[in-house]
Structure 1
């Protein structure tokens, strides 16, 4: 059985982030009006609207962790308009380590990511890590 196209788009987004290929991510995978929803009360929590804000947010994640942040997808679930990814997020920052499991839920429109919601297992730990 072949992979669902929306699972492939989600997978490609993680590959692009891992490679630092923001040109591919912004040019081919994100819709112009993309929105990333980041939970919590930490300095990075909030909504990021549009490619520029989303790419700046992802750049902040990389800079704050000195490029140690890794998203390791464990499983992909996909439907006509969505992809859900069970993942592990790991990184280092200022002598601290983060190792969290969670879910990213993507809304896919016209073959591009139009929305992403993040659901970490431990929002408080993620907030503390980035504080």
Structure 2
């Protein structure tokens, strides 16, 4: 492969990745990745592992987008090519995670097939640093809720309507409260309610009628009066949607109040503001 061809292919890949990491859809990525693409990520971080197939790889990309809050960017630095179908590229990554700015280099070994990326083996220059950047920053235990897509969840084309995912998030959060904090009713009986102050989601793949999904919910940020929950809706290895919802604790006639003790008792991060 000629070097100019390699640069053009990697420019397409990085542009598609960066657009996706900023919240765009996956259409451009599906144009540059093979259906059976494999992405190997070393280490023990929240994104490590062998991601096999285009849906699993897009799920890996979505996980990085979620962890970096849409701040993740890639920039190519150097490319090496030979006579075969392999490309070696040095790429810089940049992200702001939990208010801290990170920049790191990595070597990526790509295999190309018919003008598309068929495999990538990521080799960070410093694996320990890479693991720390992409660590799982959960602030408490997770809860998983099974879900079967019903006709009422779908539009006329038999796909889950975008608005329904917020219902799935809320149901999963209530399940998390039941499992870990004594239930929503217990909080209300103690005079505290949890009110949504912001919510959003990113769509990676469609879900359809009769799909069997799993909604995974976990706390990712804790304040004195607030709690942010992260949601991942997946079908086996395929990530359908990721999202976050921030709640604030309110008391009757008191406005915002500190998070109640049943919640604080199961959260790893101490209240900070």
Which secondary structure does the structure 2 equivalent of 1:25 belong to? helix
Task: Determine the structure 1 residue equivalent to 2:107.
Answer: 103
Q: Is the 8 A contact 2:6 2:79 kept in 1?
A: no
Q: Is the 8 A contact 2:3 2:79 kept in 1?
A: no
Distance in 1 between residues matched to 2:72 and 2:27, nearest whole Å: 19
Structure 1, unaligned runs of 5 or more: none
Q: Output the CA distance in 1 between the equivalents of 2:103 and 2:33.
A: 26
Deviation at 1:81, TM superposition (A): 0.2
* Superposed counterparts of 1:1-131, under 5 Å: 3-20=3-20, 21-26=25-30, 28-79=31-82, 80-131=84-135
SS in 2 for 1:32: strand
Task: Indicate the RMSD between aligned Cα atoms, in angstroms.
Answer: 1.5
How far residue 76 of structure 1 moved from its aligned partner, in angstroms, is 1.7
Aligned mates of 1:113, 1:87 — CA distance in 2: 16
SS of the residue 2:87 aligns to: strand
Q: Which has the higher contact order (CA 8 A, sep 6+)?
A: 1
Cα deviations by residue, 1:35-87 (Å, 9 ceiling, x for unpaired): 00001111211010000000111111111101111111112222330111111
Q: Which has the higher helix share?
A: 1
**Structure 2 segments unaligned to the other structure (5+ residues):** 136-273
TM-score (norm 2): 0.45
- TM-score, length of structure 1 as denominator length: 0.90
Q: Measured at CA, do residues 106 and 11 of structure 1 come closer, stay the same or move farther in structure 2, by a change above 3 Å?
A: same
CA distance in 2, matches of 1:114, 1:100: 24
**Partners of 2:88 and 2:8 in 1: CA distance:** 11
Q: How far apart, CA to CA, are the structure 1 residues paired with 2:4 and 2:111?
A: 14
C-alpha deviation, 1:7, in angstroms? 3.1
Deviation at 1:3, TM superposition (A): 4.5
Determine the C-alpha separation between the residues in 2 that align with 1:130 and 1:3: 31
